[in-house]
């Protein structure tokens, strides 16, 4: 699953802003959306697309915004306290911003923050297996095996069954199917996937058809994912359009962070054909020769899970496979919390559980353990309150 694809909601940030009497400022990452410096996204034009550049953009903007605010209010040398928030990749940016520009922010909340660049991310698939449980895991593994068999005998028929005939490269198709399963756990809807699959397996029904029904109704329907997201032909399109984000994120994957979600050597859920070679071939095919993810450089620059910043809160969901690229070791200046419940996925502290109220005080009715979500949110508030008060005290001095 692409880290940048995580849906983001401002609702909890709004609640926090009201609590602390704060304003909310949201920036668009360079190259994404309307913030594109070139008229095409050909590889040579993407040389300024990186997390480092994004952090400097935020630093420059923060200075400009503060100066503009002071001018508007006729103030001199006033520094309002700033706190940075983010989920997933933006969660990593939040942590990295505090690390690199500690004088510009009082602290950061790094929710499901993927701060550790991973070349072969086998833990991702392993976490899906753990989150699924024995019965669902077995059903998913059998579905994968059956799909591979049908690809060998009648590849067009099985792709058509999933409304994915346009994915000519088998690796793209198998990655698409793996991502569909990932989403159920990543965003806290495991029962939507597991219940029908386990029931179909017990009843002796066609598991591939049961999985295809889930993919089309939930992943492509409710979740709104387009098959074209996985089509390398689409990823090679250099036109600047509303769909350019797929190509842009893959460029960051292929140059900075990798997060290659590959099948473990044994007991895998996804197809073994989704391996390192698949990802490297995609990078070469989409962006040309010489494109390679320098994960060691990224981790040396930011510190990976040994990030040496301060006043950063890390939060993760127990079922979220991305938590293995996040920081989960706690310290007084960088507290880390894992929210444990049946459907605690990506950014649960910020997004809430599926269809659950998102107020900080309200119970998350769709969570198996709403008190776990509530407890972490309260702990986050306490940290924000403490660090903001320290910022205010420093300004007074």
With vertex at residue 96, the alpha carbon angle to CA 94 and CA 99, rounded to the nearest 5 degrees, is 115
pLDDT in tens, 159-201: 999 999 999 999 999 999 999 999 999 988 899 999 999 999 9
**Which residue is catalytic, options 88, 90, 94, 326?**
88
- The pLDDT, as a whole number, for residue 366 is 56
Please provide the size of the chain in residues.
Answer: 397
Helix axes 370-396, 11-20, angle to 10 degrees: 40
Record the tokens describing residue 281, joined without a space: 């071939």
- The pLDDT, as a whole number, for residue 357 is 42
Catalytic: 275?
no
φ and ψ at residue 10, rounded to 5 degrees: -90, 0
- Average pLDDT on 115-142 reads 96
Residue (of 369, 378, 383, 342) closest to 132 by Cα position: 342
pLDDT level of residue 149 (50, 70, 90 thresholds): very high
Residue with tokens 């095996």: 145
Residue (of 272, 255, 251, 254) closest to 263 by Cα position: 272
Q: Is the pLDDT of residue 58 over 80?
A: yes
**Which residue is catalytic, options 320, 324, 349, 374?**
320
- The pLDDT, as a whole number, for residue 6 is 38
Could you tell me which residues are beta bridge partners of residue 239?
40
Whether the CB-CB separation of 350 and 9 falls below 8 Å is answered with: yes
Average pLDDT, the chain: 91
Give the containing element (helix H, strand E) for 230: none
- Average pLDDT on 109-132 reads 96
Q: Which of 171-185, 213-227, 313-327, 346-360 has the lowest mean pLDDT?
A: 346-360
**Which residue is catalytic, options 29, 324, 346, 374?**
346
Q: Is the pLDDT of residue 393 over 70?
A: no
In the chain, what are the domain boundaries? 47-115+306-396, 123-295
Q: Is the pLDDT of residue 396 over 50?
A: no
Could you tell me which residues are beta bridge partners of residue 120?
260
Q: CA-CA distance, 47 to 251, in Å (whole number)?
A: 10
Catalytic: 374?
no
Q: Is 37 helix (H, G, I), strand (E, B) or coil?
A: coil
pLDDT in tens, 241-267: 888 999 999 999 999 999 999 999 899
pLDDT level of residue 359 (50, 70, 90 thresholds): very low
Helix axes 122-132, 134-161, angle to 10 degrees: 110
- The pLDDT, as a whole number, for residue 15 is 85
- The pLDDT, as a whole number, for residue 367 is 66
Record the tokens describing residue 23, joined without a space: 């304003």
pLDDT in tens, 59-94: 999 999 999 999 999 998 888 999 999 999 999 999
Record the tokens describing residue 34, joined without a space: 């309307």
Catalytic: 111?
no
Give the containing element (helix H, strand E) for 314: strand 312-317
Q: Is the pLDDT of residue 230 over 80?
A: yes
Could you tell me which residues are beta bridge partners of residue 109?
85, 313
The domain 47-115+306-396 belongs to what CATH superfamily?
A: Alpha/Beta hydrolase fold, catalytic domain (3.40.50.1820)
Q: Which of 277-281, 361-365, 372-376, 386-390 has the lowest mean pLDDT?
A: 361-365
Q: What is the CA radius of gyration of the chain?
A: 22
- Average pLDDT on 108-125 reads 97
Q: Is the pLDDT of residue 395 over 90?
A: no
Whether the CB-CB separation of 105 and 98 falls below 8 Å is answered with: yes
Q: Is the pLDDT of residue 44 over 70?
A: yes
Residue with tokens 């100066």: 67
């Amino acid at each position: 699953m692409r880290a940048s694809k995580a849906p983001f909601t401002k609702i909890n940030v709004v609640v926090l802003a009201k609590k602390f009497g704060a304003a909310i400022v949201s920036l668009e990452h360079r190259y994404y959306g309307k913030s594109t410096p070139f008229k095409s996204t050909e590889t040579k034009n993407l040389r300024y697309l990186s997390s480092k550049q994004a952090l400097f953009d935020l630093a420059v903007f923060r200075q400009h915004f503060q100066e503009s605010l002071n001018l508007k209010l006729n103030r001199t040398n006033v520094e309002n306290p700033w706190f940075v928030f983010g989920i997933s990749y933006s969660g990593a940016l939040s942590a990295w911003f505090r690390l690199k520009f500690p004088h510009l922010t009082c602290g950061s909340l790094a929710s499901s923050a993927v701060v550790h660049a991973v070349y072969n991310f086998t833990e991702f698939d392993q976490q899906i297996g753990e989150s699924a449980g024995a019965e669902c895991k077995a059903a998913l593994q059998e579905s994968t095996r059956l799909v591979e068999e049908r690809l060998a005998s009648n590849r067009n028929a099985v792709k058509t069954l999933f409304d994915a005939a346009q994915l000519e490269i088998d690796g793209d198709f198998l990655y698409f199917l793996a991502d569909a399963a990932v989403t159920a756990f990543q965003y806290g809807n495991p029962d939507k996937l597991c219940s029908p699959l386990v029931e179909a397996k017990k009843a002796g029904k066609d598991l591939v058809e049961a999985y295809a029904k889930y993919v089309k109704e939930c992943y492509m329907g409710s979740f709104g994912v387009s098959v074209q997201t996985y089509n390398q032909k689409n990823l090679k399109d250099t036109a600047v359009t509303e769909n350019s984000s797929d190509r842009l994120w893959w460029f960051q994957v292929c140059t900075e962070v990798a997060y290659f979600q590959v099948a473990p050597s044994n007991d895998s859920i996804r197809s073994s054909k989704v391996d390192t070679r698949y990802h490297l071939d995609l990078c070469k095919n989409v962006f040309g020769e010489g494109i390679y993810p320098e994960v060691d450089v990224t981790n040396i620059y930011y510190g990976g899970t040994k990030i040496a910043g301060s006043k950063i809160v890390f939060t993760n969901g127990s079922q979220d496979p991305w938590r293995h690229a996040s920081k989960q070791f706690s310290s007084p200046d960088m507290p880390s919390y894992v929210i444990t419940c049946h459907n605690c996925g990506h950014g649960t502290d910020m997004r809430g559980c599926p269809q659950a109220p998102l107020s900080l005080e309200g119970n998350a009715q769709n969570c198996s353990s709403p008190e776990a979500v509530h407890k972490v949110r309260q702990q986050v508030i306490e940290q924000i309150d403490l660090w903001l008060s320290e910022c205010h005290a420093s300004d007074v001095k």
